[in-house]
Chains A and B, each alone.
Chain A
Amino acid sequence: DQQVKQNSPSLSVQEGRISILNCDYTNSMFDYFLWYKKYPAEGPTFLISISSIKDKNEDGRFTVFLNKSAKHLSLHIVPSQPGDSAVYFCAARPFNFGNEKLTFGTGTRLTIIP
């Protein structure tokens, strides 16, 4: 049962354009959402997060949007840069102490074309 889904295994975007990565979830108990970025031979690194009390969170070139009614979130990267080429994982967890387990999606491989 895949509770967090990233339906696009890969995405190619021209340098300077906007990259949009999508994520859907099914568990209504999820209240906190994160994006991680992973380069080859490295562990995932935290990128940006959002709690369910917000519908948008911005950090520099990265913005995460949350649509709770649709159980959908997206990560926007603008402008896209070659260093953004990586695998991006969406993750979710309930917002309660004692249950910190993150559930991850299968990832989207983003390739930025120079």
Chain B
Amino acid sequence: DSGVTQTPKHLITATGQRVTLRCSPRSGDLSVYWYQQSLDQGLQFLIQYYNGEERAKGNILERFSAQQFPDLHSELNLSSLELGDSALYFCASSADRGMGYTFGSGTRLTVV
């Protein structure tokens, strides 16, 4: 157990639907990062939150949004889902000035 908890582990949904992925960071970590891993692709950075504020944004589609709540857990919302959104979505957290991340085990999203 890495200390970063992601739910659900698996999600199957239809095109056009909306889903919410949840992440609880490791205790004490202020930063949360979301990454997408599609088939045979590396980890693509989506967005980072630090202590409730958006800190950095990557290749995140307009159909996707995220937030970090006062208790530091984060949610990634994916809407108007397309087949190409099928991927593994990883959440990671890091300590203040932390040099590396701790990853959760991911949510596998399948859009049918």
Contact = CB atoms under 8 A, between A and B. Distances in A.
Interface string B34-61: 0100001111110010000001101000
Contacts, number: 62
A46 B33 CA distance: 15
Interface residues of B, number: 28
Question: How would you classify the secondary structure of chain A's contact residues: helix, strand, loop or mixed?
Answer: loop
A85 B92 CA distance: 23
Contact of B2 (A6, A43, A101): A43
Chain A interface residue count: which class? 20 to 34
B99 A32 contact: yes
B102 interface: yes
Contacts of B28: none
Contacts of B106: 42-43
Nearest to B47: A101
A41 B105 CA distance: 7
Given A43-B2, A89-B43, A101 B105 contact: no
Given A43-B106, A44-B90, A102 B101 contact: yes
Interface of B: 2, 4, 31, 33, 35, 40-45, 48, 55-56, 58, 90, 92, 94, 97-106
Given A45-B103, A102-B101, 7 more contacts: A41-B105, A42-B105, A46-B101, A89-B43, A91-B43, A101-B48, A104-B42
